[in-house]
Amino acid sequence: MRRFTPFAAFVAAVIAIAVIGATALAASRGPLGPTSAYVSQTLGYDVQLPGGWRRSTVLSTLVHNGTLKVGHEVFTIRSAADETGVLNDPGPGAAWSYVAVVEQWRDPAGWSALAWATDPLLAGWAQGQVVESTTIDGHVAAKVTNGPRFSVAYYVQDAGRMFVVGYKVDAPDWKPSAATDADLRAIVASFHVSP
Amino acid sequence: MPKRLASALRGSVVALCVLTRLAFVGTPAQAAYGGLRLPFPPGRAYVVTQTPGAYQSCARGAGSHCIGNDVWAYDFGLRIGDQIAAAHSGTVIRYVAGFGIGSCDPAFRNDANYIVLDHGDGYSSIYWHISYASASVAPGEYVAQGHPIADAGAAGIVCGNPGDHLHFAVEPTPADGVSVQRSVQLRFDEAGEPAAGTAAVSANRPRFSATYVGGSEWVVLGNGERRATAGLWRNTGWESWSQSTSRIGTFGPEPAQDQPSVLTGTNRVGQSQAVVAPDQVASYPFALVGPSTPGIYRVYLRPVIDGITWMEDQGVFWLVDRR
């Protein structure tokens, strides 16, 4: 019994700390509220964010990436403090897990969504990726599942622009506890090109 | 809060932090993954700028190879435009090459250019930060060890100015082809597990290389008597040999370079197969004919890709004792 006691105390302490940590994490996010609209004036779209989701300031950027890309915005359920924490440890890969992303690219050549999505230089390529024609926000679009950059991504062509709307769930070890695939799908499904 | 409870809680927090870190740093493999050559062309050397084991310095806030898929990664000091070579043969299963620049800003995490090769043994090698549109491989292509992959670059999260380097790791091949995996401990054939600051010379495969396998003979022939024979060389380079250019040719000392042999009547012997891929053996069939004058004759033959390069001279010859 004497040999068991320290171990039992340690397990109890770990459980206690886990409960305290989870409570603190939940508190840092605040209560999950109703869906809210996020309107991007710069990139020209809007999405509906489920309660607790927000635009990530540190993961979003409007810097041209030396190519046709104009910029991207990232949506996360992590609190700003939680996001800062995981960026430091374990690292950016964790912060980028379970996020929804909207990218805008210039499309001066007027590529179709399907042509863009299947071009390895523009969209990348992964063995086993599935590319399908679909419709999103009333636009003819291409859906890519298990691509090299997104778990699921939609390519949406609109007036000289190509939007890439997707989400990443490719690192389950780093899933925020409150994040759900359903939330991610809902954000992507709500994508709407602003007039 | 009572002192003992506070002390116990502090101890538990420390224990939990340690456990959390252990969960992310990955477990060293039973044995380091081998069969790799340094991921740049033979004869070149680049400084190792970050090593596995960086998790030791990550605890002090330095280094970036701290977490699952980065723990066993190496950074090499390649500059923009330097050629990256396949450390292991494999099939291209992921390909991103459409981004132009990088930054230390975590916003660039999903804008990294990279190539992944599936080795076919449950593991894949990953080459990060390649230059825009520089890939030398195509999606789904199988390439031999040493084959050019792309030019090094600075796309993705890179720190420094411009931050160009090659980030290299080996990971288990995910079932879905794309999930982020934990990297594994690895070692290079010619450099082992190189330390930071060292710059081992690559012994990766060149484009063309040949190793003699067999076929050389010592035969006794009469005047005009014929003997069918064949030389065998293994393709130890990264490019396939084509029947249209792959030969064995005279190179001296007997006969002199590019001179016809009295034994074969020619200065070249062609490859029998249409294509010989890396690691396959090429056959060069020919006939030895006994000369009219008795004596000892030799024909030295060396593999050559006509119009491009001679390959290794291993002093291979056929000897005819004309009696």
**pLDDT value, residue B76:** 96
Q: How far apart are the first and last CA of chain B?
A: 107
**pLDDT value, residue B62:** 56
Q: Is A91 on the interface with B (CB under 8 A)?
A: yes
- A118-129 pLDDT tens trace: 999 999 999 999
- Decide which of A22 and A34 is more confident: A34
Residue A9 has pLDDT above 60, yes or no: no
Residue located via tokens 């054939």: B189
Q: Average model confidence (pLDDT) for chain A?
A: 84
Please tell me which of the candidates A59, A122, A126 has its beta carbon nearest to residue B106: A59
- B82-137 pLDDT tens trace: 999 999 999 999 999 999 888 888 999 999 999 999 999 999 999 999 999 999 99
Helices and strands, counts by H and E, chain B = 2, 24
d(CA B110, CA A43): 18
**pLDDT value, residue B102:** 86
Q: Is B141 on the interface with A (CB under 8 A)?
A: no
Instruction: Give the count of alpha carbons within 13 A of A22, CB side only.
Output: 7
User: Which residues of B are less than 8 Å from A60 in CB distance?
Assistant: 107
Query: What value does the mean pLDDT take over residues B240-267?
Result: 97
Q: Is B133 on the interface with A (CB under 8 A)?
A: yes
What the block records as the tokens of B295 is 């004596």
Nearest residue of B to residue A101 by CA position? B110
Alpha carbon separation from A61 to A71, A81, A91, B162, B190 (Å, rounded): 6, 19, 18, 19, 42
Between chains, do B107 and A67 touch, taking CB under 8 Å as contact? Answer: no
Contact, B146 vs B88, CB < 8 A? Answer: no
- Percent over 90 (pLDDT), chain B: 74
User: Which residues of B are less than 8 Å from A151 in CB distance?
Assistant: 178
What the block records as the tokens of A30 is 């605040």
Alpha carbon separation from B86 to A19, B33, B119, B137 (Å, rounded): 47, 15, 11, 10
What the block records as the tokens of A19 is 């409960």
Residue B2 has pLDDT above 50, yes or no: no
Give the pLDDT band (50/70/90) at residue B35: very high
Separation in Å, CA of B190 to nearest CA in chain A: 31
The pTM (predicted TM-score) of the whole model is: 0.83
Query: What value does the mean pLDDT take over residues B291-309?
Result: 98
Separation in Å, CA of B34 to nearest CA in chain A: 25
Give the pLDDT band (50/70/90) at residue B69: low
Instruction: List, in sequence order, every residue forming a beta bridge with A132; answer none if it has no partner.
Output: A143
> Which residue in A14, A17, A73, A105 has the most chain B C-beta atoms within 10 A of its own C-beta, making it the best mutation to test that interface?
A17
> Residue-wise over B7-33: b if at least 16 C-beta within 10 A, else e?
ebeeebeeebeeeebeebbbeeeeebb
What the block records as the tokens of A152 is 């699921």
Between chains, do A89 and B66 touch, taking CB under 8 Å as contact? Answer: yes
Alpha carbon separation from B24 to A96, B55, B70, B187, B294 (Å, rounded): 16, 10, 10, 21, 77
Of A167, A151, A83, A153, which is closest to residue A118 (Cα–Cα)?
A: A153
Of A112, A134, A136, A138, which is closest to residue A123 (Cα–Cα)?
A: A112
Q: Average model confidence (pLDDT) for chain B?
A: 88
Q: Is B251 on the interface with A (CB under 8 A)?
A: no
Between chains, do B99 and A66 touch, taking CB under 8 Å as contact? Answer: yes
Between chains, do A91 and B67 touch, taking CB under 8 Å as contact? Answer: yes
d(CA A170, CA B118): 18
**pLDDT value, residue A26:** 37
- B151-200 pLDDT tens trace: 999 999 888 778 899 999 999 998 877 777 778 899 999 999 999 999 99
> How would DSSP label each residue in B251-312?
-SSSS-TTPPPTTTSSSEEE-SSSEE-TT-EEEEEEEEE--SS-EEEEEEEEEEETTTEE--
Residue A162 has pLDDT above 90, yes or no: yes
- Dihedral (CA of B3, B5, B6, B12) sign: positive
